């Protein structure tokens, strides 16, 4: 059994200063809701995935996009819609002609191959597409056609959703 690493307060000081600077930048760029900024940063630092819920126009997307820039992490956004397919998020295999004239299947990675994936309005997508994110969120990998591909690290899904009362939304399963 391994023993937990115990850090002294002075060893945590540089990390605490970085977090404070990141929060100050976020609060300067996006006015108000510093409580939400702090909670989102805590979620990222604890390597968790985050779901933000609120009416359209409240700054959910702006918060996530800005945080990605501040943390200097690769960031991609997917607008979830009822017609979005799992392959649009995870990637797909495409039959391509090679230089030698043969055809072969090549993998085209989807937007999930990033550090921060903004799943914008995730509850507008069908349950099938929503569940396509589960493996990526749990295992940090994508399996297609029997081949498992690791995602870049760190990897976070930050999703926004509109209240379920709005037309055109699907409830998220508890697992997500």
pLDDT tens digits, one per residue of 134-167:
888 888 999 988 899 999 999 999 988 877 655 5
pLDDT at residue number 29: 80
Residue 28: which pLDDT band, with cuts at 50, 70 and 90?
Answer: confident
| Coil/strand/helix, residue 49 | coil
Number of neighbours of residue 67 by Cβ within 10 angstroms: 26
- Output DSSP code: residue 164: T
Question: What domains can be seen in the chain, in order of their start residue?
Answer: 14-161 (3.40.50.300)
Least confident of 1-10, 42-51, 88-97: 1-10
Cβ atoms 90, 132 nearer than 8 A? yes
| Cα gap 25→28, rounded to integer Å | 5
pLDDT tens digits, one per residue of 32-62:
788 888 888 888 888 889 888 877 777 778 8
């Amino acid at each position: 059994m391994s023993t937990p690493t115990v850090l002294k307060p002075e060893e945590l000081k540089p990390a605490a200063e970085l977090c404070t600077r990141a929060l100050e930048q976020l609060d300067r760029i996006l006015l108000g809701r510093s409580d939400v900024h702090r909670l989102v940063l805590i979620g990222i630092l604890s390597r968790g995935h985050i779901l933000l819920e609120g009416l359209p126009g409240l700054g959910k997307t702006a918060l996530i996009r800005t945080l990605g820039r501040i943390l200097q992490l690769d960031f991609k956004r997917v607008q979830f819609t009822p017609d979005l397919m799992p392959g649009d998020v995870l990637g797909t295999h495409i039959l391509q002609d090679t230089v030698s004239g043969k055809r072969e299947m090549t993998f085209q990675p989807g937007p999930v191959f990033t550090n921060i994936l903004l799943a914008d309005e995730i509850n507008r997508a069908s349950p099938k597409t929503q569940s396509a994110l589960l493996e990526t969120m749990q295992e940090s990998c994508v399996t297609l056609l029997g081949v498992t591909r690791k995602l870049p690290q760190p990897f976070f899904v930050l999703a926004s959703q509109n209240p379920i009362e709005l037309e055109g939304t699907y409830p998220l399963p508890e697992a997500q």
